[in-house]
Structure 1
Amino acid sequence: MRRQTAVIGSAVFFVGVPLMVGGIIPWLLNGWQFRPAFPGMAPIRLAGIALVLAGLPVLIDSFARFALQGLGTPAPVAPTRHLVVTGFYRHVRNPMYVAVLAVILGQALLFADVRLLAYGFVFWLACHLFVVFYEAPTLSRSFGTDYDVFRTNVPRWMPRLRPWSPR
């Protein structure tokens, strides 16, 4: 896939999936309405803002790396030609999913909405099942030893504090 095509494909996927999952669906569930803070936890709203603000640049950077370095998109129909192991991928294997989850959970804390917490759990579970049963086996077949070394050194969900350096 040419770089220009990868950038366009990633941009279209970005608008179609993470924007929908991390923005539109939470808005449909909550209307971005503030509810009374969880009992005794009014300051937790600041953590919600921090999660949203932390998730967005991770998501954008990860999408850009897929297009520019991987020469592909996050969509399974147009995968990357190269395994991406730079940027936030040096800390966690699934920074896109983690970033969207951070945005969802951040909104749950900010708006004090249990429905968004439940939605975040469902989102994480769907991602986990997709990764375990489709994505990881596909990447292992596509990138072999390179992916196996990456998988061994970089955690799936909980980011490592010190970035991993391949070879």
Structure 2
Amino acid sequence: MTETRNRRLWWRHALSFLVAPVTMTVFIPALIVAWADIRLPAYDSPSTIGLLLVGCLLVAGGVGMLLWTVYLFDRVGKGTLGVGEVMGQPVNLVVHGPYRHVRNPMISGVVAILLGEAAIAASGWMLLWAATFFVMLTTFIQVWEEPHLAERFGEEYTTYRRNVPRWLPRITAWEPQASRSS
């Protein structure tokens, strides 16, 4: 309890959440909608109703995954999704919950939200934003995040990276202890 109070992460959580996921899933899509003058389709056909339902499921699943991963960063990682000591980056490598199946479930959640928004709006512009975001984050992850995590967590991260795929989830959850004993 004292450790958490001393870290005062609540404002760091709020700021990192606003800077990253909210900017990518709310502010930038709102700018695209305004710039491209996107109007929601008339949901009066099976195809547009199907897009709406798929979009809502993707957004709900993405928000759920995002909240779950932020919770794990706080409780297990003892930090936020921010980068650097000021923003409270996690002090522990998070290898719980969805992180036992895929290395980037937070980004998968954000991409799901963006794809859901594109489906709801039936917008190619929104779909293009989702693809652009994914390419940018994939590049960032490969160029900066993975080397940074390897430096910070050493063999623990290297073993994790060998056993858990970046994007396509494992069917079975990875058991860190099982890898150490083999």
Identify whether the pair has TM-score above 0.5, normalized to the shorter chain. Answer: yes
Contact conserved, 1:71 with 1:82, CA < 8 A, in 2? yes
Alignment length (residue pairs):
165
1:3 maps to what in 2? 4
Structure of higher CA gyration radius: 2
Q: Does 1:34 align with 2:40?
A: yes
1:114 maps to what in 2? 124
Q: CA deviation at 1:50?
A: 0.8
2:141 maps to what in 1? 131
Contact conserved, 1:35 with 1:113, CA < 8 A, in 2? no
Q: CA deviation at 1:124?
A: 0.5
Give the AA of the match of 2:76.
Answer: Q
Pairing partner for 2:23 from 16, 20, 29: 20
Q: Does 1:68 align with 2:68?
A: no
In structure 2, list runs of 5 or more residues that go unmatched.
178-182
Q: CA deviation at 1:136?
A: 0.2
Q: CA deviation at 1:27?
A: 2.0
Q: What TM-score comes out, normalization by structure 2 length?
A: 0.82
Alignment of 1:143-162 (within 5 A): 143-162=153-172
Q: CA deviation at 1:161?
A: 2.9
Q: Give 3-state SS (helix, strand or coil) of 1:106's partner.
A: helix
Q: Does 1:101 align with 2:104?
A: no
Q: Does 1:51 align with 2:52?
A: no
Q: Give 3-state SS (helix, strand or coil) of 2:154's partner.
A: helix
Give the AA of the match of 1:157.
Answer: W
Which of 17-26 and 102-111 deviates more?
17-26
Output one character per residue of 1:103-122: Cα deviation in whole Å (capped at 9) or x when no partner: 00111011100001100011
Contact conserved, 1:36 with 1:112, CA < 8 A, in 2? no
Distance 1:73 1:158, change over 3 A: same
Aligned mates of 1:133, 1:87 — CA distance in 2: 25
